[in-house]
Structure 1
Amino acid sequence: MEEAQVLGVLTALGYSGELTKEGALSQEAEQGPLSPCFTAACSWLVCELKAVSPLEECLTPTTGPENAEAFLLEVSGLLSELHCPYPSLTTGNATSRLKDKESSLRLLLFLGSELQAARLLRSKQSPQERQQAPKEAGSGDEVSRELRALCQALGMAGPAADASMAALFGDLELKIRDISSSLPEDAVGNPLLTRSLESGQWERLEEIHQAMCMEYGWRRQMLITRLDVTVQSFHWSERAQQHGAAMVRLYEPLRDGLCSRPSVTLALLLSAREDLSVITKTTSQSSREKTACAVNKILMGPVPDRGGRPGEIEPPMVRWESRRSGSGGRKEKRRGKGRQH
């Protein structure tokens, strides 16, 4: 793949980042996800694409090679949503892709072509369709998703495209106060976060949230991979091979519902109540009210002692196997020589 083709697409789209410098595209594409400049260019393309199309996934630019795996996981989800036709970008282990320069350039070219197509379709839309486009394009935005979910939970219509935020939050407050007045006292509880945060604190909290999402994303991906390997091992037996198609048909719908990206958002922090900060033992009376069953009342009789206490084990005796089994000791050799004389 020619670098001039990729650079021409980026320039035509209005990209003016580090990759436009002489020789930078070849050098950064060689490093792929290990390069912050390369990931920043991919993130820019996706942000531009989200502005003109209803895209859910996003790409977070990295700050160093240590964030490469998280970036690759995001790329995997993005390409799945965009139905990428290149097998080299969509097959195999998600954290092992973009290992060569050719794959990195292909990713830039694919994202660039998707952005060109989205902008072309948008230019052909009528003025009425363009007014609705920002609302649809923002469906992947976290704030928009939370607002729509809040309106749905309260039984209200979704936020109108021409409604101001002040009017929307005013209507939400009135609706929440109306519902809260009909609830019993202390039904909701006090919020866990009782103080207002400044802009810098929210930014810091967002950084912590992104770091935790990255960490737990890796853990979820590890568990999902273990599940896939375990299910694959079930197909090895001769009996399972006869029912392989049925097993796949039952497993795929369940597997499709598993996502490596955590669904925890900052909005859940605002909705958290004080009772979440109380650590209750599993053996406490309040917990046992929900977990007690008839099996717990069955008492086990005496069981044999299986040991397992290192302090009670006697040290082993020294065994001289060579003297017992062999006949080639030094004394035996001397005796043999004496007999010859």
Structure 2
Amino acid sequence: MSNLEVKPSKLPSNQFDHFYKGGYRIGKLRNGPGGPMRPEEWIGSTTTRFGELVNGLSKLSDGGLLKDAVNADPSAWLGQKHVEKFGVSTEVLVKLLDPDQRLPVHYHPDQRFAKEKLHLNHGKTEAWIILEAPAGARVGLGFSKQMDKSEVAKLVKAHDSDALLDSLVFKEVKPGDAVFVPAGVAHAIEAGIFVLELQEPTDLSILLEWDGFAVDGDKDGHLNLGYETALDALRLSPLTKAENDEIFTGFDSSSPKSHSIFKSVANPFFRADYLTGDEQKVEAGFGIFLCLSGEGELVFENSGNLSVKSGDAVVIPFAAGSFTVSNCVGILSRPPAA
């Protein structure tokens, strides 16, 4: 694929079955199959489900896999500076999460643990951008007090969901809020919260509880490591006040100006911008734009104009050049800067 053929592409829906319920709002927004057990869409994904070869990968509008296109011409898709720093990895996985039931208490390993125990280059630091939430809906993030590994292991073995939930710090969220979730921190999301998630490009989750979910955590909850090893990836200490000040951010939907969503703590992992249609120029680079409202267009320096409307997801290659957004509002997700 030559530079001339590498152009922005609208992405078809990429929903698939999971162990928790949901997915109807994704189906409505993205013209996908909906629920009842498809609560995630992986958007612009070059990442597969854990232990699988194809499931999870996104297709382009021509039916080919995005991963294959990027591998065929990484400089055009990602930019030479990105390739020199990160190789052919896009460095980011973008998802929609639409849970109709509370997500179980779980956590993700960091890069060091993933490299040492799983021989992977990425852990799973992530962040949630809240698109919709019922009044009073909450997310749990981090333990409320110092925990001990043996204490957590005992709760997991006993399937003590109540105690694990009670151990977390819960915070109410509303549309426009954003939450940065460091790897290793135990967390949960209550039912009904519609989330755009950015994360490192892996599928690495360790479950601490799973009763009431369509998964056997004793068998499949620990990345085939066993809990004795998997619990070494869990952060046992509470988040500090300074960390909480960095973690909770968001976007202002009433602002006429485009603006970044996360604080600098996220920069080594991913970036996200709320684009208001103010025609502010966005620098060239790989990205995924999700249109949230309006009917407008993306105007590219090297690729002309692309019409977009609410629910469209567009994968943008570096070769498209800088661009502006007009007459619509959305979120641009990007890898860390090279």
TM-score (norm 2): 0.20
TM-score (norm 1): 0.20
Task: Return the structure number with greater relative CO, CA threshold 8 A, min gap 6.
Answer: 2
More helix by share: 1
